A and B are shown apart, each in its own frame.
Chain A
Amino acid sequence: MTQDITPEIQDQLNLSALILKKNHKQANLSSWSGFNLEDKMHVKQAERLLTILGLKSGLHLRNSLQRYESGLMVSQAFEKLAAEFRTDTTKTFEAKYQALNNPQTQNTYKMVWKYRFSLKNQKLIGYEIAMYIFQMRLGLVLGFITTEEIILRLEEVNATVKSTFSSWGEFHRNVCIGDEYVLGVTEQDVSTFPNMTTLWDHYQRLHIEHADWFKNWNK
């Protein structure tokens, strides 16, 4: 049974708007999943995303949600490295950075170094919760999850986000940082993929098209 989307739920769903738009440009942000279930191409895209994320069933999905919720997915690794860097000096960090051969790890180091103090408390929780909600919406396409369950789960993570961040700007910034931290150098370069829209593009568009959604930070 599909429930109605109340303004409150819409506000909670919007926490995943940025990630959803990035993964599915045509997403309808005011629907439950964002995907048009009548449109085969939409369903195919959802299936493709689920495969990439390794979500083969409802159980896979829930296990993934558990990992995002507990910070096991991103925040713990980030914080571990950040804690280490907080005691480093520029010189010792430089040495560590130079010792790496893997550009992906180098990128990670650079990111963590940059945010080692500013994200001490927030870590990358914003990004994780955005992914959490995004995955629930994806799961809905193949019936891995029901809207009732989504409502229950939304309530919890909404509380987490709203108590961790103080505004939409702060939250979305965290999502962007998290996305860059996770994907790193794999983010497509606009010069080689001219039709690609970066997360930053989506961010701006989102705030222009749905300006009213992102004004109030409803605790």
Chain B
Amino acid sequence: MSAIFKTHIIPNLKLDTLEASETKGLHQVLEILEATDTDIYKNIQNNRDFSGITAEFSTQIAQQIYFHPQGYANTTEGIAFVIAWLPLLKEGIYLDEKSTRKLVEFLTFNLGYFQSEAFSETIEQQLFQVIKILVESPSEAALPIVQFLMQRIFDIRDVLSSEYLIQNCLKYDLLSGTYAVKQDDETISTFPYTIDSNFINYFFEGNWELFIHKFHQLLPVGRVYEKSAYDIITPWLSNDLAAFYEANPNSALTAIEAIKERLIWADAQSDALLHLTTTEGNYPLMQALANKKWDSGDVLLFNTRDTNLPKEQLDAGYINFLDWLIADGGANLNSEAFKDYGIKILSENTANNLPLECIPFWFQIAHPQTGFKNHSETFNTLFSKLFLEDDSFELLPTMRLKGKDVQVTGPFVIRSIAQSHSNVLLWFERLQMEGLKNPLNQFLIRAFCDAGEALLELFTAEEQENLQRLLLNLAYATRDASAIVKAKNIPLIAETLGFLCVESGNFTRVNEIWALKDLDANATDICNQFARKHYINENRPLTLNTIQALFNYLGDYYYSLTKEAVWVPEALTTQGTRIAQYFNLQNEDVGFFIHRLVDRVLSFHKRCKSKEATNPIFKTISADIEVFLIDFLGKLKNEKLHLNTITQLYEYSNSDDSRFSSNDALYDQIESYSQYILETEIAESKVATEQDAEDTQESESEKDSIDTVSTSKIDINAIEVNQHYVEALLINLETYKTAGYEIELLDYFNTHIEDLKIWLTNDETGLEMRFSQTLYMTLLDTDLALGTPLETYGNLSKNIFVHLVKDSNLATSYAMGLKAISKSGAYADPLANALLQVADQLNA
């Protein structure tokens, strides 16, 4: 039992006014205080019988025990007095309101002392034990103490005391759970610590503004990196507070300011407060942040945002952030707030969290013309990470627009540039000079590729042409770009150009796009498909140009050992019929083209055949060529072929280096032409003889005479030396190799050689010269030399030659020529000797 009770309180206790139940209560108090040897205890013990009576601790008793203002006169004694209550308080015997108020007065008065060094830690511990019991007691004593604590904590005029109490509240876990309030009907109700109307009523005079004001003042105060008032208050945050902020936007704004200050000065985040929600799920403080114009502090604050927040809450924040970045001509880009915090908002993020506005923003800020030169690099890095290096989406990401996730599309991107630029392509042209390594270009390529066929609607024909040119330039100027960039972008460019270049006929362009395959292996397939589509397109009418191109590329296909122009075999195996039909429908004479085509195809077939043994590839090429020829010749009308084409085919088909013969269909096809020619020749000669009959006047023209004599129906008995037969002989001598040997005719003139000589001397049409020259040629023909089957024909003509030329002006010249030839070594000895003999005869 403490001294103060022994000397002052117990001796002064008065029993007179007490009810029996109260006396019993007092009796218990004395027992607890271990004051059983006092007079008063003995008095009660002896005189009273408490059977059937319940003990009552009334206000009167409480005041007799606790209300002793003179005990507080001395600080140390006062503290000792308060601490002396502990045993009683532990038993649930609490102070009444009047004594509590006195206690609060004492505490208030001595707050300064508590913080001094004179106040020992053990005593402090005991004192706060008393306070804790009282604060947590379900009695009328609780509220005044709590009110005291609240008042002092929220009063930052005495910041030291406030801080002292905050730390001890945290230490002894005060102000959490519930608090008790005595109601008007003397009952005690308990309320949880949460910021609601009760809270405001009991602690802040029912004045929300007052609380908000003090709360915001208190928020940034406190020691750095230590717990502060915020840690006490956090559990109290409530929907009601949120509702208040929602109803009072100005308060929300001051709250934001307070939170920013706390972030800046105390380096502490206030997420719980910032993310306060109303019962409807609104975020009043985030809303306030979204609606205001930002300064650097807001950027810092936004950087600390909880990434788990619903996206709707963040959308506006991102947009504000972008606005802040380009405000004041980009001044903020140089601020620390951007370098240290702002960048993180973009760098530690993914595209699908960000608003669509990012794209126009990027275009604006990083374009060489409109952007900020020193910063375009930074943003290019940031956005290429977001848009280009993220593999979670194909070409373009989903982004946020008007509170929804929206798939970004190519047309959208193009239109969003168009909105701010009257001439999109001019804008792109400037950018295009930067080359493929500029991420903006890479992104645009994705957009173009994504837009696909929509490009044809987005741009006029002229612009499309321009765009193709720009894209090609971009692709071919890839020297600086890394291999990865090339591998990603060249196929996309090729694909885009595939959408753009749909008009047929411009093969220069087609080839240029096709050639993109050489820039990066990934584009090979796309490019080859593209070229195939242009060169082999059944939906488009064929033109001579296309056909010509097709067979030009046969060369590339062959020379590159099938590595280039890979669609050529498809063309060969599928287009033969189609090309034949094309030629069939042409009214003009296309024989020349067909001849060149056949010539080219045959020449490659021949080369393939001759190299077949070295590489099996050649075998496949020649097989494809044969498929083409079967299709093509099978469908082509015979009359489209020129005679020389047929001859060429026929000769090649029957030559040694051709293997057409193993291909029966083709062989038969070509053989059939000879039948065709025969038929046409008969038809032609019929026409000729008919004409002959009609027009006898011209029957002696040279052409007709050939026709009549070459039919080998000369009647020997009818021969006489006249113009008709002389000419027939001459023509036979000129054409015997193909037309056959008219030996009888020659023999007749040999016997009538003098007549012939006279006739020729009288002839004025110059036949004599022609005769001797023709005969001279027969001398040199090895087929007619001695020892050959046609020796007779040769001898006869030799004889006629000697007769005709001898003694003429030309004899010496011919003799000299023959001598020279016989000595040139061009002829074998027998023939050379024969020629020398002729020379001798002439000279003789």
Q: Which residues from chain A sit less than 8 Å from chain B, CB to CB?
A: 56-60, 62-63, 66, 69-70, 144-146, 148-149, 152-153, 156
Of B21-29, B551-559, B764-772, which stretch is located at the interface? B551-559
Known contacts A57-B519, A58-B564; decide if A153 and B559 are in contact (CB<8 Å): yes
Known contacts A58-B564, A59-B564; decide if A152 and B514 are in contact (CB<8 Å): no
Q: How far is A80 from B558 in the complex, measured between Cα atoms in Å?
A: 31
Q: A72 CB to closest chain B CB, in angstroms? A: 10
Chain A residue contacts of B561, Cβ below 8 A: 148-149, 152
Q: How far is A156 from B608 in the complex, measured between Cα atoms in Å?
A: 13
Q: How far is A166 from B514 in the complex, measured between Cα atoms in Å?
A: 40
The CB with the most chain B CB atoms within 10 A, among A59, A63, A146, is that of A59
The residue in chain B whose Cβ has the minimal distance to the Cβ of A142 is B518
Q: How far is A144 from B556 in the complex, measured between Cα atoms in Å?
A: 12
Chain A residue contacts of B514, Cβ below 8 A: 59
Q: How far is A92 from B604 in the complex, measured between Cα atoms in Å?
A: 45
Whether A58 pairs with B518 at a CB distance below 8 angstroms is yes
Q: B483 CB to closest chain A CB, in angstroms? A: 15
Known contacts A62-B564, A66-B552; decide if A57 and B515 are in contact (CB<8 Å): yes
Chain B residue contacts of A144, Cβ below 8 A: 518
Q: A58-B518, A66-B555, A149-B561 are in contact. List 17 more A-B contacts (CB 8 A).
A: A56-B515, A59-B511, A59-B515, A60-B512, A60-B515, A62-B555, A62-B559, A62-B564, A63-B511, A66-B552, A69-B555, A145-B560, A148-B561, A149-B559, A149-B560, A152-B561, A153-B559
Q: How far is A153 from B607 in the complex, measured between Cα atoms in Å?
A: 11
B556: contacting residue among A56, A57, A62, CB under 8 A: A62
Chain B residue contacts of A69, Cβ below 8 A: 555
Q: B778 CB to closest chain A CB, in angstroms? A: 29
Whether B558 pairs with A152 at a CB distance below 8 angstroms is yes
Q: How far is A59 from B558 in the complex, measured between Cα atoms in Å?
A: 14
Q: A216 CB to closest chain B CB, in angstroms? A: 21
Mark interface residues in B538-569 (1 if CB within 8 Å of A CB, else 0): 00000000000000100110111100100000
A152: contacting residue among B476, B517, B559, CB under 8 A: B559
Whether A59 pairs with B518 at a CB distance below 8 angstroms is yes
Q: How far is A59 from B527 in the complex, measured between Cα atoms in Å?
A: 11
Q: B519 CB to closest chain A CB, in angstroms? A: 7
Q: Which of B22-42 contact A (CB under 8 A)?
A: none
Q: How far is A66 from B508 in the complex, measured between Cα atoms in Å?
A: 13
Chain A residue contacts of B552, Cβ below 8 A: 66, 70
Closest 7 pairs (CB-CB, A-B): A57-B518, A59-B515, A57-B515, A62-B556, A58-B518, A149-B559, A152-B559
Chain A residue contacts of B511, Cβ below 8 A: 59-60, 63
Q: How far is A60 from B508 in the complex, measured between Cα atoms in Å?
A: 10
The residue in chain B whose Cβ has the minimal distance to the Cβ of A136 is B559
Known contacts A62-B556, A63-B511, A152-B559; decide if A56 and B564 are in contact (CB<8 Å): no
A-B contact count (CB 8 A): 42
The residue in chain A whose Cβ has the minimal distance to the Cβ of B603 is A156
Q: How far is A153 from B556 in the complex, measured between Cα atoms in Å?
A: 10
How extensive is the interface on chain B, given as a class?
10 to 19
The CB with the most chain A CB atoms within 10 A, among B476, B517, B556, B558, is that of B556
Chain A residue contacts of B560, Cβ below 8 A: 62, 145-146, 149
The residue in chain B whose Cβ has the minimal distance to the Cβ of A63 is B511
Q: How far is A148 from B511 in the complex, measured between Cα atoms in Å?
A: 23
Q: How far is A148 from B564 in the complex, measured between Cα atoms in Å?
A: 13
Chain B residue contacts of A70, Cβ below 8 A: 552
The residue in chain B whose Cβ has the minimal distance to the Cβ of A55 is B515
Chain B residue contacts of A148, Cβ below 8 A: 561
Q: How far is A153 from B512 in the complex, measured between Cα atoms in Å?
A: 23
Q: Which of B449-479 contact A (CB under 8 A)?
A: 476
Mark interface residues in B509-526 (1 if CB within 8 Å of A CB, else 0): 001101111110000000
The CB with the most chain A CB atoms within 10 A, among B511, B552, B555, B559, is that of B559
Q: How far is A144 from B518 in the complex, measured between Cα atoms in Å?
A: 8
Q: How far is A63 from B556 in the complex, measured between Cα atoms in Å?
A: 9
Q: Which of B478-513 contact A (CB under 8 A)?
A: 511-512
Q: How far is A66 from B554 in the complex, measured between Cα atoms in Å?
A: 11
Chain B residue contacts of A59, Cβ below 8 A: 511, 514-515, 517-518, 564
Q: How far is A205 from B512 in the complex, measured between Cα atoms in Å?
A: 39
Chain A residue contacts of B555, Cβ below 8 A: 62, 66, 69
Chain B residue contacts of A146, Cβ below 8 A: 560
Q: How far is A84 from B514 in the complex, measured between Cα atoms in Å?
A: 38
Q: How far is A58 from B555 in the complex, measured between Cα atoms in Å?
A: 14
Chain B residue contacts of A145, Cβ below 8 A: 560
Chain A residue contacts of B559, Cβ below 8 A: 62, 149, 152-153
Q: List 30 A-B contacts (CB under 8 A).
A: A57-B515, A57-B516, A57-B517, A57-B518, A57-B519, A58-B515, A58-B518, A58-B564, A59-B511, A59-B514, A59-B517, A59-B564, A60-B512, A60-B515, A62-B555, A62-B556, A62-B560, A66-B552, A66-B555, A66-B556, A69-B555, A70-B552, A145-B560, A146-B560, A148-B561, A149-B560, A149-B561, A152-B559, A152-B561, A153-B559
Chain A residue contacts of B516, Cβ below 8 A: 57
Q: How far is A38 from B515 in the complex, measured between Cα atoms in Å?
A: 26
Q: B481 CB to closest chain A CB, in angstroms? A: 15
The CB with the most chain B CB atoms within 10 A, among A58, A62, A69, A149, is that of A62
Q: How far is A147 from B559 in the complex, measured between Cα atoms in Å?
A: 10
Mark interface residues in B737-754 (1 if CB within 8 Å of A CB, else 0): 000000000000000000
Chain A residue contacts of B556, Cβ below 8 A: 62, 66
Q: A146 CB to closest chain B CB, in angstroms? A: 8
The residue in chain B whose Cβ has the minimal distance to the Cβ of A152 is B559
Q: How far is A146 from B514 in the complex, measured between Cα atoms in Å?
A: 19
Q: B624 CB to closest chain A CB, in angstroms? A: 17
Q: How far is A58 from B561 in the complex, measured between Cα atoms in Å?
A: 14
Q: A139 CB to closest chain B CB, in angstroms? A: 10
Chain B residue contacts of A63, Cβ below 8 A: 511
Q: How far is A12 from B286 in the complex, measured between Cα atoms in Å?
A: 80
Chain A residue contacts of B518, Cβ below 8 A: 57-59, 144
Q: How far is A74 from B78 in the complex, measured between Cα atoms in Å?
A: 120
Chain A residue contacts of B515, Cβ below 8 A: 56-60
The residue in chain B whose Cβ has the minimal distance to the Cβ of A153 is B559
Q: How far is A63 from B512 in the complex, measured between Cα atoms in Å?
A: 10
Chain B residue contacts of A149, Cβ below 8 A: 559-561
Q: B600 CB to closest chain A CB, in angstroms? A: 10
Known contacts A62-B564, A66-B552; decide if A56 and B558 are in contact (CB<8 Å): no
Q: B620 CB to closest chain A CB, in angstroms? A: 15
Q: How far is A58 from B516 in the complex, measured between Cα atoms in Å?
A: 10
Q: B553 CB to closest chain A CB, in angstroms? A: 8
Q: B243 CB to closest chain A CB, in angstroms? A: 69
Q: How far is A63 from B558 in the complex, measured between Cα atoms in Å?
A: 14
Q: B469 CB to closest chain A CB, in angstroms? A: 14
Chain B residue contacts of A56, Cβ below 8 A: 476, 515
Q: A148 CB to closest chain B CB, in angstroms? A: 6
Q: How far is A137 from B47 in the complex, measured between Cα atoms in Å?
A: 133
The residue in chain B whose Cβ has the minimal distance to the Cβ of A66 is B552
The residue in chain A whose Cβ has the minimal distance to the Cβ of B513 is A59
The residue in chain A whose Cβ has the minimal distance to the Cβ of B519 is A57
Q: A10 CB to closest chain B CB, in angstroms? A: 20
Q: B479 CB to closest chain A CB, in angstroms? A: 9
Q: How far is A156 from B611 in the complex, measured between Cα atoms in Å?
A: 13
Chain B residue contacts of A60, Cβ below 8 A: 511-512, 515
Q: How far is A62 from B549 in the complex, measured between Cα atoms in Å?
A: 12
Mark interface residues in B149-162 (1 if CB within 8 Å of A CB, else 0): 00000000000000
Chain A residue contacts of B564, Cβ below 8 A: 58-59, 62
Q: How far is A51 from B560 in the complex, measured between Cα atoms in Å?
A: 22
Q: B498 CB to closest chain A CB, in angstroms? A: 16
Chain B residue contacts of A156, Cβ below 8 A: 607
Q: How far is A57 from B558 in the complex, measured between Cα atoms in Å?
A: 18
The CB with the most chain A CB atoms within 10 A, among B476, B514, B560, B561, is that of B560
Q: A57 CB to closest chain B CB, in angstroms? A: 4
Q: A63 CB to closest chain B CB, in angstroms? A: 6
Q: B601 CB to closest chain A CB, in angstroms? A: 15
The residue in chain A whose Cβ has the minimal distance to the Cβ of B618 is A152
